[in-house]
Amino acid sequence: MNFAKRRWILGFAVFAITAASYAQWSNPAEDIPAYHPAAPLKVTPLPPMLSGAKLTGDNFRYPWQVHVYQQAAKIGNVLYQLPCNCRCDRSLGHTSLRSCYEGLHGAECSTCAKEAFYAFAMTKSGKTPAEIRAGIAQHAYEQIDLEKQ
């Protein structure tokens, strides 16, 4: 077998193993948005979440938009362990609900905002990230009225 053919076969094998082990593809029957099953390791810092003076301008016209970022900043490690049902993992490459608050997406998407408000309230009531995930899967966050936040 020549070198080029072996190289192609090896490349295909690496791709196949990677694709098979990727969580989003490994169980298509469970179409769960991306999230991390455990808190982030302290080895590598996570990207910063928007805060302070960055919470102004056209993207922050309503009080709830600023408030959700303020609450999200307090529970960043919890948001890291939660999926986002708006499917920004597919459209924006987000890896968890926390990713929505590293940029402007959390201010633009009512699903992300409601999930973060829900996560904050549930965290304050003593729920674990796994319990909050279960609530998100059942769409418990949909009851939240953003105008009252």
pLDDT score for 145:
95
Mean pLDDT of the chain: 86
pTM of the model: 0.78
Structural domain for 124, as ranges: 34-148
Residue 40: CB atoms within 10 Å = 15
pLDDT digits (tens, 9 = 90+) for 63-103: 999 999 999 999 999 999 999 999 998 999 999 999 999 99
**pLDDT tens sequence across 42-69:** 888 899 999 999 999 999 999 999 999 9
Q: Are residues 13 and 62 in the same domain?
A: no
Kindly state whether residues 89 and 27 are assigned to the same domain: no
pLDDT score at 44:
83
Q: Do 23 and 74 fall into the same domain?
A: no
**For the chain, what percent of residues have pLDDT higher than 70?**
80
The DSSP string of 16-44 is HHHHHH-HHHH-TTS-PPP--SSPPPSSS
